[in-house]
Structure 1
């Protein structure tokens, strides 16, 4: 098992399969983004070899992220290979929904039902301002199609001051008739912009208080290692959650490892890259046991929480979330 110095077992990997994205969300990346050359990204064979090693050491859940994962050629073929890895029992995807609709039947055939949909507004004009792209109709079409296929859909909404806070209750209202989880995420500093991030005005308690102005919220049990605090509005079909991504209240139970599309491993979202596993995979003399030892060594240096990791962060400018992998 992969275990950090604080006794936390790592059994969940968030794997970015591409740094490319067809949106340019203002809180995630600059409008002019320089992407990696294809040869710098992990290949399918490297990803499968890496996940087999991680599964051997106890990882059972994989979330596929990007960039936008459906920008990677032949993603379905890769997903099928991942599904066949012994020990991997849970595969989920985070997507912006622009390209996803046509893949939904195939995902269902593979048994991949858990999808997080990034959606920060329910207004077409505002969507274009946030994402710098006119793709709102495609995303909403994808959302409804996923529900029609009984997929387990979670909407991830980043709450941004003076941008979309007036839509918090409208998002909560989606859960009345739709069996969907709407999760409000505190804004984070990973926007790839060369400017200071001075903190947030909309912390998770303020988001909950805003919902309570219109609806009663009943606390429901959170799953083990969950990053969200979850609630239900009485009589509604879906659920509402808040993710204290900036407040970092969930660090004590964190069970995840992040791997970028270029093979950089982060043991904490707010920390440095600890190891580049792509470089190890491409060393002919490095056997699996050497790579597994390198990953374990990175995990043994894991900080207690995101605040401690941020204090030791070596870069002056925060990375783009699209590079980190969502």
Structure 2
């Protein structure tokens, strides 16, 4: 079992398969994707080795991320690789959703279990202003198709003062009769967004207090769940979640590791550097890769230190899919 020196166990791998994104979100890639070096993304064979190694060390959930993972033409094959790996029980993906209506059936047939879709506003004009794309109606259509196929859907919205910081009621109204979890994520500082962060950051703690006052109840967190605190209410089909990375003890329940699209192990989203594991993916021995993972995990810190302004190597969230 992958376990660090603080007793945290890692059942959950976030695997980026590209850092390319076709959206230009204000908080992530406001100038669009910039290719500043050669991109030699992980091959299917390397992804198979990663899945097998992590599964043999106790990981049971893999989330495919980007950039935007659907920009890889071999995405269905990658999903199938993950789903067919012995020990992997859950395959999830985070997407901006622009190809959902056209591709969701293929993804489900390949073995996808759940989907996170990024939507920062339910107002089409606001959505287009944030992302640079007028695709909200298409994305919402895709979400409905995914739900009809039995896929568990969560929607992620980054809290921003100017755009949606005072618009919580519209999110609650949407999940009143929609069986999705809408998760509000506190804007996080990265290497290139300090000015935007200072202007737009909204704390989620007051929202949590309001939800509790309104009768929402905190759900028990699953073993392979992410960091969200999720709430349910008897009058709502959907649920609401809060991701509060600046909150006390946020890192105490960390259960996930990250691998970049170019084969770097990131012990934290805000680690000082990615650790190159790619040479071990081409070796004949699975045990060499697994032993290297165990050894590298010894360097994992107790916290991300984000509350102290430490953003590490993360220049923008598309690097690792958040």
TM-superposed deviation, 1:32: 3.8
Per-residue Cα deviation, 1:47-93 (whole angstroms, up to 9, x for no partner): 11121111111111100111111001111012112211111111111
Alignment match, 1:204: 204
Three-state SS of the structure 2 residue aligned to 1:51 is helix
Q: Does 1:325 align with 2:318?
A: no
TM-superposed deviation, 1:165: 1.6
Q: How does 1:47-66 map to 2 (within 5 A)?
A: 47-66=47-66
Three-state SS of the structure 1 residue aligned to 2:175 is coil
TM-superposed deviation, 1:290: 2.7
Q: Note if contact 1:29-1:193 (Cα within 8 Å) is conserved in structure 2.
A: no
Per-residue Cα deviation, 1:136-184 (whole angstroms, up to 9, x for no partner): 2221211222222232111111111121123211111222111111111
Q: Note if contact 1:303-1:309 (Cα within 8 Å) is conserved in structure 2.
A: no
Q: How does 1:88-127 map to 2 (within 5 A)?
A: 88-127=88-127
Alignment match, 2:303: 305
TM-superposed deviation, 1:223: 2.3
Alignment match, 1:131: 131
The aligned length equals: 321
Q: Note if contact 1:192-1:321 (Cα within 8 Å) is conserved in structure 2.
A: no
Deviates more, 1:188-197 or 1:252-261: 188-197
TM-superposed deviation, 1:21: 1.2
Per-residue Cα deviation, 1:87-113 (whole angstroms, up to 9, x for no partner): 111111111110122222223333423
Three-state SS of the structure 2 residue aligned to 1:172 is helix
Measure, in 1, the Cα distance between the counterparts of 2:31 and 2:123: 21
Measure, in 1, the Cα distance between the counterparts of 2:120 and 2:62: 24
Deviates more, 1:185-194 or 1:48-57: 185-194
> Among 285, 288, 303, which residue is 2:286 paired with?
288
Alignment match, 2:11: 11
Alignment match, 2:87: 87
Measure, in 1, the Cα distance between the counterparts of 2:124 and 2:279: 43
TM-superposed deviation, 1:199: 8.7
TM-superposed deviation, 1:311: 7.5
Q: Note if contact 1:27-1:191 (Cα within 8 Å) is conserved in structure 2.
A: no
Measure, in 2, the Cα distance between the counterparts of 1:185 and 1:212: 18
Q: Note if contact 1:28-1:191 (Cα within 8 Å) is conserved in structure 2.
A: no
Three-state SS of the structure 2 residue aligned to 1:306 is coil
TM-superposed deviation, 1:239: 0.9
TM-superposed deviation, 1:292: 2.1
TM-superposed deviation, 1:39: 5.1
The two structures have a TM-score, normalised by structure 1, of: 0.89
Measure, in 1, the Cα distance between the counterparts of 2:127 and 2:145: 19
Measure, in 1, the Cα distance between the counterparts of 2:37 and 2:44: 15
CA spacing shift, 1:89–1:115, aligned 2, 3 Å: same
Three-state SS of the structure 1 residue aligned to 2:24 is coil
Alignment match, 2:73: 73
Gap runs ≥5 in structure 1:
none
The two structures have a TM-score, normalised by structure 2, of: 0.90
CA spacing shift, 1:307–1:193, aligned 2, 3 Å: closer
Gap runs ≥5 in structure 2:
none
Q: Note if contact 1:271-1:310 (Cα within 8 Å) is conserved in structure 2.
A: no
Three-state SS of the structure 1 residue aligned to 2:166 is helix
Deviates more, 1:146-155 or 1:30-39: 30-39
Three-state SS of the structure 2 residue aligned to 1:10 is coil
